[in-house]
Structure 1
């Protein structure tokens, strides 16, 4: 059953990551891992806000049985200085979330990202996945299968 939990967790993660991105904001997604029993999944999304240019990092902990955030989460960090780096924002967010990452031994059970719907996806057919080679290319660019 843990493999089913991991698949469901990955599906939830993809939906949440897409829902939290702003217009023009392309968040990077990094899975942090699962608890040993598969009941907790955590991931980080990070990037630079469109408009303000502020760096941010959000770390989400999901109860995979209840399909809900764990109490006290997510951890959201946004720098509010013009020259702050994404790595600085990520380091601060990890510092806030580190105890929970360790409590659930997430880094010992990273799981696998089998497929997801990136910003470069070109069709809605559930039976296939097709991507543009680079996210900055227009829809008339060559497709990668």
Structure 2
């Protein structure tokens, strides 16, 4: 059974994909009315499922005429995606950020779901049982190697 967050996310992605400009503007209160939920539920979905790591730019204006603008980042070529992902990973990366990068790779069809599961297991806290600063550094190193391998093996 789908949660309300899943339903809201699917709805927003659907209208975003249908948008000719690749940008949508929505009102928090209108979405809350449509889905019969509190506006904070809309905030939660947007802040957790439409992140930079997942390839979205979100702008928000509060108040009476307020809106939320969501834009899917589009790249000209695979090289741009590769470079942007390596920038996001940096020298140390927390598990949640790494998982968002993996989700984006699947959504961009640059990685299969099976490859994503393997990568998620490899970078998990359970696998990397190290103190936090070292764990995040090791995770980043592994992610950079895996992404570099993925991009070179899928042919650019």
The question of a shared fold, defined as TM-score above 0.5 by the shorter chain, is answered with no
Provide the TM-score with structure 2 as the length reference: 0.27
Superposition TM-score, scaled by structure 1 size: 0.29
Q: Which structure: greater helix fraction?
A: 2
Larger Cα Rg: Structure 1 or Structure 2? 2
Higher strand residue share: 1
